[in-house]
Amino acid sequence: MKNLIGSSIKDLENIALDYGQAAFRGRQIYSWIYNYKNKNKNIDQIEVLPLDFRKKLKDDGFKVSELSFQEKRLANDGTLKLLLSTGDHESIECVGIPTEKRLTACLSSQVGCPMDCKFCATGKDGLKRSLRASEILDQILFIENVMNRKVTNIVFMGMGEPLLNIEELLLSIRSINEDFQISQRKITVSTVAVPKMIRKLSEKSFQILGNCQFTLAISLHASNQKIRETIIPSAKNYEIRNIVEDSKQFVKDTGRRVSFEYLMLSGVNDKLEHANELTSLLRGFQCHVNLIQYNQIDEVDFKRASLNNLQLFKSRLSDNGIAVSLRKSRGLDKNAACGQLRQNSKNK
């Protein structure tokens, strides 16, 4: 694989030297790739390079990136959802979520997902394969290209379970941080939690990145083990209390905070008794709970909790001393739920 995206400045200088060019040619490639204003990301467009150097790179199979555009949906609130094709004809989704000051890219880490969460369209088809770091990073280029803005924040909340693709995840974070110039503190890695992997994530992060400064968001979605297993079948391998203990260890190891994501599902986990149970589970842990409105999908029976239940739940957690926010759903009018666009495209 000779994708240039994800290459460090040193890597590109070395490529230039290998081709008998001066090192600054590598730096020119570097500046060109990571400048969002350069739209058409192919080697022909790097006009500062000599023609014969561009030709040699192409003849030897180098590309800037390998994903291709398949479909886009723009919601009324400006949220952009992209369906992209990989070189082996799989489809992945990514989302650009704009506000006045930020552009957050929601990235996929796998094609499909093995975790089979019952509320999720991506989980329906299982896992095809994990993405390479270059394919993860390419999603940022596409979002910047279509939205004509620089991405400022990253969330790994798209298709896939990032902790089942740790090496490529961390290689992509290195590049997001050093090449795309996005601080690790503006990156959130979201996981449904896989046994032993929270510890491995911090260990590997110190090995690969030299530190661990991103935020970890754990998709808890339940206040007890029984409810969790009904909505996340893979949860049977990982006791909810152990997830909280491992999260505390992550905070100790890294100094970073952990947030718990809680999808509010009507009649499943949205009662005050659940808020009280969640309080008992998290009491004494300096964490943050994000309550999320559910984007309903056709194939499953779960329903979005009412706004009233959401507000009551939030107030109860807050009264109980738990830091809590309500995360508004964006892009509701355009298949905003994870995996929906891909699913629709397959059905067509």
Residue 113 or residue 227: which is nearer to ligand SF4 going by CB? 113
Give the containing element (helix H, strand E) for 282.
helix 272-282
Question: Helices in 210-261 by DSSP H: which ranges?
Answer: 225-231, 240-254
- Residue 344 in contact with residue 86, Cβ under 8 Å? no
Tell me whether residue 122 or residue 165 sits nearer to ligand SF4 (CB atom): 122
Task: Spot the catalytic one: 13, 47, 93, 117.
Answer: 93
Closer Cβ to ligand SF4, 146 or 297, answer by number: 297
Q: How far is the CB of 152 from ligand SF4 (least distance, A)?
A: 23
> Cβ 28 to ligand SF4, closest distance in Å?
38
Q: Which of 94, 106, 113, 338 is catalytic?
A: 338
Owner of token pair 């940022």: 140
Distance in angstroms (rounded) separating the CA atoms of residues 256 and 200: 15
Q: Report the residue number, 334 or 342, with the smaller CB distance to ligand SF4.
A: 342
* Active-site annotation holds for 106: no
**Terminal CA-to-CA distance of the chain, rounded, Å?**
31
For the bound state, the minimum distance from the C-beta of residue 213 to ligand SF4, rounded and expressed in Å, comes to 23
All residues at 6 or more sequence positions from 284 whose CB lies less than 8 Å from its CB, including other chains: none
Give the shortest CB-322-to-ligand SF4 separation in angstroms: 23
Q: Which is nearer to ligand SF4, 309 or 340 (CB)?
A: 340
SS3 state of residue 149: coil
Q: How far is the CB of 123 from ligand SF4 (least distance, A)?
A: 3
**Left (φ > 0), alpha (ψ -120 to 50) or beta: where does 181 sit?**
left
Q: Does the annotation mark 338 as catalytic?
A: yes
Element (H or E) spanning 81, and its range? strand 80-85
DSSP secondary structure code for residue 265 in this structure: B
Instruction: Decide whether 95 or 117 has the Cβ nearer to ligand SF4.
Output: 117
**Using CB under 6 A as the criterion, which residues of the chain lie in contact with ligand SF4 when the complex forms?**
113, 115-117, 120, 122-123, 159-161, 192, 338
Contacts of 255 (CB under 8 A, 6+ apart): none
Q: Minimum distance from CB of 120 to ligand SF4 (Å)?
A: 3
Q: Let me know: does 325 contact 288? Beta carbons within 8 Å.
A: yes
Residue where the block lists tokens 């008794």: 273
Residues linked to residue 258 through DSSP beta bridges, in sequence order: 216
Q: Which long-range contacts (CB under 8 A, 24 or more apart) does 296-304 make?
A: 296/337, 297/119, 297/120, 297/121, 297/337, 297/340, 297/343, 299/121, 299/124, 299/343, 300/118, 300/119, 302/118, 302/119, 302/231, 302/265, 302/266, 302/268, 303/265, 303/266, 303/267, 304/264, 304/265, 304/266
Paired with 127 in beta bridges are 112
Active-site amino acid positions: 93, 338
